[in-house]
Amino acid sequence: MRRIGVFLVFTFLLTFGTTVKAADVSATWTGAGGNNNWSNAANWNPGLPSGAGTATIGDGNTVNLDTSQSVGIVLLNTGASAGTTTLNIATSGANLDIHKNSTELFRVSGVAGGTGIVNHSAGTVTVSRIDAGGTGEVRLSTAANCTAYYNLSGTGVLDFEVLNKGDRTRPAYFTATGGTLVARNLINKFGLINDGYTGFLQGQAKLEIGAIGTVKAIGFGNASNLMDYTVGNGDEVNPTYGTMVFDVASASLFDTILQYGNVADTFGATLIIQLLGGYVPDAGTTFDVWTFSDKTKAGSGLFASISANWSAEWVDTDGGGSGSTDTLRLKYIPEPATIALFGLGLLALRRNKK
């Protein structure tokens, strides 16, 4: 009897154990369910998108993410007409996980003359390619003369591998007045952003590079290319400040930014350095966390605050002289009391060995 019982349990696991994984369902939004909630299966044809399926939301529709959802690809503003498609992500705890073995994973606008809008003020949107063959992208605009808006605010978190904006014929606006932008690979643009661009990471937004990684390119700016990257808004009269977070795991393993573009301004920003894995740098250890691919470019701006025991300054690493501060350098400067305690600890260790 015991063997039969074990056999039945084993058979049950083989038969039903794989049903835990969500089926791959691709679906198109119809809005037939009588409300705008994503979770209402009646709003989708043939049903709620899931697994590695594609969620397609066409022109003229507004969708509210009301519960956590997991899907392979999300496409907004797609179809024959040039309407406006809006996705509202504003419910705390309602997260959107977008993942598949594909490059374009989250598209905001893709119809010539159309407009796609994402209003993201709560919850986490994670965009990641699940294989090792490449990176998954958030593509703001992909068709000629379409317009895309991604508005990050509140407590919203956008965690992505690659963020591509758009070129002159594809206006794309990424505005962060709050929330957190987690960049795990690349922040990029195609060409120049049009004159209406309102800036990147303004207000109380926070940029995290990810758990030890490199943002390989930052090239945001306006058509005149006067300011490619700003953490604050650069206004000394009515300033708004952003926050930057760098993780440091060792003297050679830490978050970095490699910037392509003209200038960077960190005026008024808050700089947070997080030490990982118990690592404590030696006094005076420096970390070049933000560098320019073109050493003739310049960065500037004093931080409003910085983590205890750290200093930061823009430095000229190639001797280019005035106007070419090409690297943001962090230095670990522990307080004398910290150094004294460390010394006492070594002394005690030596005595114990005797």
Inside any domain, residue 16: no
Inside any domain, residue 14: no
Inside any domain, residue 4: no
pLDDT value at residue 217: 57
pLDDT digits (tens, 9 = 90+) for 263-320: 677 877 889 999 999 999 999 999 999 888 778 777 888 888 999 999 999 999 887 7
Question: From the CA atom positions of the chain, what is the Rg in Å?
Answer: 24
Residues pairing with 328 in the sheet: 290, 314
User: Residue 257 belongs to what domain range?
Assistant: 22-353
Q: What angle do CA 151, 157, 159 make, to 5 degrees?
A: 105
pLDDT value at residue 4: 53
CA distance 134 to 338: 44
pLDDT value at residue 76: 95
pLDDT value at residue 228: 46
The candidate with the shortest Cα–Cα distance to 314, out of 294, 331, 300, 324, is 300
Domain count of the fold of the chain:
1
CA distance 125 to 78: 20
Inside any domain, residue 17: no
The candidate with the shortest Cα–Cα distance to 217, out of 256, 167, 180, is 256
pLDDT value at residue 145: 80
Taking the chain (354 residues) in runs of 10, the rounded mean pLDDT of each run is 51 48 90 95 97 94 97 90 91 97 93 92 96 85 85 90 71 78 73 37 62 64 43 56 86 86 74 94 95 80 90 88 84 73 42 46
Inside any domain, residue 124: yes
pLDDT digits (tens, 9 = 90+) for 18-61: 444 669 999 999 999 989 999 999 999 999 999 999 999 988 89
pTM: predicted TM-score of the whole model, two decimal places:
0.78
Inside any domain, residue 10: no
Inside any domain, residue 338: yes
- For the chain, helix (H) and strand (E) counts, in that order, are 2, 28
Inside any domain, residue 13: no
- DSSP classification of residue 37: B
